[in-house]
Structures are given as C-alpha cells and as structure tokens.
Chains A and B, each alone.
Chain A
Amino acid sequence: MSDNPSLRTPSQRIAWTITIVISTLVFIFLITPILAIMPLSFSSGSYLTYPLPGLSLRWYDDFINSPRWMNSLKNSMIIGVASTLLSMVLGTLAALGLAQWKSRFKPLVLAFVLSPVVVPGVITAVGLYFFFAPIGLTGSYLGLILAHTALATPFVVITVGATLQSFDTNLARAAASLGASPLDAFRRVILPLILPGLASGALFAFATSFDEVVIVLFMAGPEQRTLPREMFSGIRENISPTITAAAVILTTVSVILLAALEGLRRRNERLKGSSA
C-alpha cells in the first residue's frame, strides 16, 4: 500500500485500506456476472448451475446449427456494418464542418446532433415505429440501418470531433499553399492524421448498433431479428445454455472492439509522446 504518497497517519492508512476493500468488492461485482456466465456455455448438461457435470461444445454446436441464431448473427453483422459505414460518412463530414463553423447557433446544432444518445430508447423506437410503418420501412433492413445510424452518428461526431480539436489546422493550410486541392489535402494530409479518431468512431458506431435491442424490438420483422433481439426472446421464454453460448460470442466481439480501441489509444499516446 505504499503507492499512495500521502499516507502518513494511521487514520489515513485505514481510510486507504477501506477504499481498497470497497473497490475490490465493486470490481468483483462488476466482473463476476460476465465471468460466471462463460463457463456455463461449455457445460455438457442443460442446467445453468454449478458445478458443471462435464465439458462439451454442444451448445456452440447448437448455436451454429440453428438457422434462427445464425440468421440473427448475420443480421447483426449486416445492420452493424451498414449503419457504421453510413454514420461514418455523415458523422465525419459533420465533425469536419462543425470544427470550422463559427456561429452562436453551434451549441444548439451540437445539442441536436447529440440528442439521439440522451433520448430514451423507447421514445425513439415508438416514434420510428409510427413514422416508418406507413412508408414501409418497418420490417425492413433499410429501416433498421437508418435508425441505428441515427443512434450511432453522435459517437462518430464526438470521437472525430475530439481528434480534430487536437489537429493542427496549419498542416491543411500548408498543403493548400503547396498547391494541393481541398480533396487532395483531405485525402493525403488530414485523413492519415485523423484516421485513429475515425477508427474509434467506427468502433463506437458498430458497438452501438450491435448492442441495440429496443428499436429492433419495435421495428424488426421475423426476418431482421438481430442477435440481442434473439437473446431477448430467449431470456423471456426459457434460458437455455445456447443463450450463454450466444452471450460468449457477443462478449468476444465486445472484447475485440475494446482491445482495438485500447490499441488505438496507446498508439495515439505513443505518437504524441514521440512528437513532444
């Protein structure tokens, strides 16, 4: 416990010990559910209890051979990738514009752009359900992609915007003064520099769509059910170990996304360190 420099008196040491004890308990609280569910997916029995009767891959086998689960995984990927691409285009353009735009209306516009994050999911879902049904966009991939793009774009605007804030605009001016067209300057000077920011924006956007379930619940037909949507019905009806296999697959995707994001952050810090 010597890493806290200001521990001089016994009472401070007690307070620090209490902090560590409570924090440890909270860390256990945070991580146990995720760790507890994983081994169950490798159980050979069909009850979700410990101790496991034996190990097997039967529930993964079940997942892979179930058209319902595989279709939902495919749908999650289609909708996730499409809404990520769309939100990247819209969000990056908007972030570039917002970085240069000076107006007293800017906070208002920014609040509007970010509002899909704050508005409760059910409200967005009900609104979209009423609005998209008459124009045939419920029960369609397009409708879900548009809706998820609306939810994901704020994250792109935030992450790309944060990267642009640390971007030296003189570089763009230098490119222009050396004769680069705006498109060339963007492609060869700005883009490589903000690429890590774009990548984190894309990860956030994909994670948003991949995890979203309320809008899917209202708008998806049986053909467009995503993985979280399928899990929702599974949990409601009866929790079979196949759900834990699905949970492990979902968590693996999250861990990959998180690791990618952490890698980007480290790379960024390293670059900043070397330039200083």
Chain B
Amino acid sequence: MTAASLTGIDAQTEVPLKRRLKRAERARQIKALALVVPLLLFLLFTFASPIAGMLWRAVDDREVRQVLPQTVTALANWDGKDLPDEKAYAALASDILAARASGTVAIAAKRLNYALNGFRTILTSTARSLKAAPEPGTARETLGKINPAWRERATWTTIKDASGPVTGFYLLAALDLTRNADGAIVAAAPDQAIYRGVFARTFLISFSVTALCLILGFPVAYLLATLPPGRSNLLMIFVLLPFWTSLLVRTCAWIVLLQSKGVVNDSLHWLGIIDEPLRLIYNRFGVCVAMTHVLLPFMILPLYSSMKAISPAYMRAAASLGAPPLIAFLRIYLPQTLPGIGAGSLLVFILALGYYITPALVGGAADQMISYFIALYTTETANWGLASALGAVLLLATILLALVYGKLVQGQQVTGGMKN
C-alpha cells in the first residue's frame, strides 16, 4: 500500500469515526450523569426541599388571610389614613363568627400578636363577646363597644400588614427592624430588638474560638509537620482521638472537669491556689473552652497539611543567604502557611457559627448563640416565621463564608498542582 492510498482510507473514515467517538463520549457522559442523579434526587427530597421550605416560611404570611378572608378583601383598598369603613367592620364581625365556629381564632390571634403586643386579647375577647352578626350598619359601633381597640387605626393597619400572602415582617424582625404605621422601616422596640445582639454574640464567640484554635493549633501543626513521620503519626493520635470522640462525650467531660466540685477546681484547691471554687462553667469561659476543644482538630489538620507541603529547602536557602531564623520564619515560612491558616480559620469559624449543642449544655443564658433561638422558636414557642427568618440570616452568612472557603481551597489545589 502506498502512502497516498493510506491517507485516502483515512480521509474516508475520518468523519464517521470522529462522529462515532463523539457519540460514544456523549453516551458515556449520560451514563456518568445517570449515576449521580439518584443522589441528587435524594438530596433534593431530604435536604434542599426542607431548607427551601424553611426559607419560604420566613416570608410566608397566610394565617390572617385564611382566618379573616373577608376582612382582608375589605381592607385591600383601604388607604390606611382614617379608620376603615363600615364594610370592613361587618366583614371582620362575620369572619370572627366563622373563625369561632371553626376554632381558628387563635391562629390569627397568634400571628397578629407578633406584630402588635396585646392583639391576642383584642381578638379573643371580641370572639368571646360577639354573640351574633351585628345589624346592618351597626358593626363599627358594636365592635367598638366590645373592645375600644377597634376604634384605633393601629389595630387595623396591623391586620392589613399581616394580610399576606408574603411578608418581610419576620426577616425585618430578625434584624431588629419593623414597619411603623406608615409603612416605613424603623428600628424595633427596644424590648424586641435582641437579635442583632445575638448575632453579634454569635460572631464574637465564633471569632474568639477561631483565634484560640489558631494560637493553640499553629505550634502543634508545626511540630507535627516538622517531626519525623514515625513520631508525628504517634502524636497525631492526640489530635485524631478527640476528633473522633462523640461531641456529647467531650461536652460531658468538660462539665465533669469544670464544675464547681470538678477536677480542675479540686486540683487548684488541693494545690492551695484557690480557696473558693472558681466559676468555670455555665458561662462564656466554659463555652469557649469546650468549643475550642471540639474545633481544634479542624484547625490543626488543614494547617498540618499546608505546612507538610512546604519544602525544608526554602528555609535552608534563606539561612544560607544569611537570613536570621526569625526573619526567615516570618518572611519565608509564614507566608506559605497563610492558605492553611485561612482555610483552617474559615472552617472553624463556619462550624462555630452554627453551634448549638455545646453552648446549650455548658453556657449560661447570656452565652446562647443564634442556633439556640432558632431551636427555641421552632419547638417551644412555635414562632416558625421568626425561627425561619433567623435561620435564613444564619444560612446566608454560612453560604457566603463557605464560598470564600471554596475559592481558597480551590486556589490552593491549583497552586499545589503547579508546584509539583
């Protein structure tokens, strides 16, 4: 066969072969995707939908609309300047009678009470006293007689604001904001404005724990990365054993150690350092100690792997070029650990932000973080809108930090690959 005929055959088969390869590759890709789909569907059901549902609850506002449908319709065109007209009063009276019959007054009363303290009493007392539908034209007078609150504009604007179907009420409340009677966003009443403080506390505790982890974790990671593998593997057990021990066990252990008749106080007393037991737990100190203990491995492990990747040749080169050890450490070693420091710190901070169990067990009332309030409003007071809104804010903070973390870790992998 000549070279010309060979290329001729190639030219004939080239196009179909290319197409066949492409088709095979596409089939392979579809098969690959098909393997991932079961997990995606599963997570959609058990993870994404529940969280989307929670986010929806943060703006969902249909209770009043369901219980007082005619009132909501009647108030739709009300300008909110004066008291609403007789039609709205008649609609409310008819709604209340219907709600009492179906036992749904409490649902609307609960929602309206969030917006205006005391609304629960207004609505339930009206429902109790209203015997029958008022004569045509007398609804305003009748309701005003039962409860003078119905003669106030604020009562009606509260209903109108809560008529849904969606509201920014809970999200504003989660940020200590509210709408006044004219619809402008203003600071919430001081007795309800607690969440900015809680978020600040959550960030402060997370930040303190992250700083403590970094200060304690850096020397350990350095030691583990510098020692010969045999010894560092042995010492690694000290990091991995706590890492694998149940969170509950570790929290319980800290209570045993730190309580007023605990091991630490007893030892200090025995050594003659203290006379009275120190208060070491159920306060901020206890929370920070226990959380640092739980999260320290998450700092040490990324730091360790970033330090492990630093070639000792750099430090030797710096020394041979005349850099004093401290300068060599600060200018050669430390900058190379920065990605590890960043990744470890962000990881610890993200995990700390959502902490619930440890502060709940070893903290006092003033040390509870945002997760505690989310849990409280979900299970105890069943203020699901506010729980969801607080959850939405926490989720947003977590996602933003996780995106930064993702970029950081990805960047590390890229540079790591280039160095090799």
B253→A247 contact, CB < 8 A: yes
Which residues of chain A come closer than 8 Å to B123, judged between CB atoms?
none
Interface string of A242-260 (1 = CB under 8 A from B): 0110010011001101100
Per the 8 Å Cβ criterion, residues 1-53 of A in contact with B are 3-6, 8-9, 11-12, 15, 18-20, 22-23, 26-27, 29-34, 36-37, 40, 47-50
A73: Cβ under 8 A from any B Cβ: no
- B398-413: CB near A (< 8 Å → 1, else 0) gives 1000100010000000
CB contacts (< 8 Å) of B250 on chain A: these are 33-34
Contact with B along A174-214 (1 / 0, CB 8 A): 00000000000000000000000000000000010011011
B391 to chain A minimum Cβ distance, whole angstroms, is: 5
**CB–CB B35/A97 < 8 A:** yes
Main secondary structure of the interface of A (DSSP, over half): helix
Judged by a CB distance under 8 angstroms, whether A235 is at the interface is yes
Interface residue ranges of A77-121 to B (CB < 8 Å): 90-91, 93-94, 96-103, 109, 111-113, 115-116, 118-121
User: Is A63's CB within 8 Å of the partner chain B?
Assistant: no
Do A31 and B248 touch (CB < 8 A)? Answer: no
Q: How far is the CB of A182 from chain B (nearest CB, A)?
A: 9
Asked if residues B39 and A26 are in contact (CB atoms below 8 Å), the reply is no
Interface presence of B22 (CB below 8 A): no
The answer to whether B325 touches A5, judged by C-beta atoms less than 8 angstroms apart, is: no
A224 beta carbon closer than 8 Å to chain B: no
State whether B46 touches A146 (Cβ < 8 A): yes
A227-B161 Cα distance, complex, nearest whole Å = 46
A255 to B242, CA, bound (A): 10
Residues of A within 8 A of B316 (CB): 6
Contacts of A257 in B (CB 8 A): 244
Q: How large is the interface on B (under 10, 10 to 19, 20 to 34, 35 or more residues)?
A: 35 or more
Chain A interface size, under 10 / 10 to 19 / 20 to 34 / 35 or more: 35 or more
- Inter-subunit contact A122/B34 (CB<8 Å): no
Chain A nearest CB from B170 CB (Å) reads: 13
Residues of B within 8 A of A96 (CB): 32, 35
Contact check, A126 vs B241: say whether CB atoms are below 8 A apart.
no
Q: Are B361 and A126 in contact (CB under 8 A)?
A: no
Report the minimum CB–CB distance from B7 to chain A (whole Å).
28
The 8 A CB mask of B286-314 against A (1 = contact, 0 = none) is 00000001001100000000000000100
Who on chain A is nearest to B353 by CB?
A120
B40 to chain A, nearest CB (A): 7
Q: Is the CB of A11 within 8 A of B38?
A: no
A32 to B294 CA separation, bound complex (whole angstroms): 13
B54→A130 contact, CB < 8 A: yes
B239→A6 contact, CB < 8 A:
no
Q: Are B247 and A120 in contact (CB under 8 A)?
A: no
Structural contact, A101 and B249, CB atoms closer than 8 A: no
Q: Which 4 A-B pairs have the closest CB atoms?
A: A120-B354, A97-B35, A127-B50, A33-B253
List 20 A-B residue pairs with CB atoms under 8 Å apart, sorted by A's residue number.
A3-B228, A19-B219, A30-B239, A30-B297, A31-B238, A33-B293, A90-B42, A99-B32, A100-B29, A100-B31, A100-B32, A118-B350, A120-B394, A120-B395, A122-B391, A127-B51, A128-B50, A218-B375, A218-B378, A232-B357
Interface residues of B (CB under 8 A from A): 28-29, 31-40, 42-43, 45-54, 57, 216-217, 219-220, 222-223, 226-228, 231, 235, 238-242, 244-257, 259, 261-263, 266, 293, 296-297, 312, 315-316, 319, 324-326, 329, 350, 353-357, 361, 371, 374-375, 378-379, 384, 387-388, 391, 394-395, 398, 402, 406
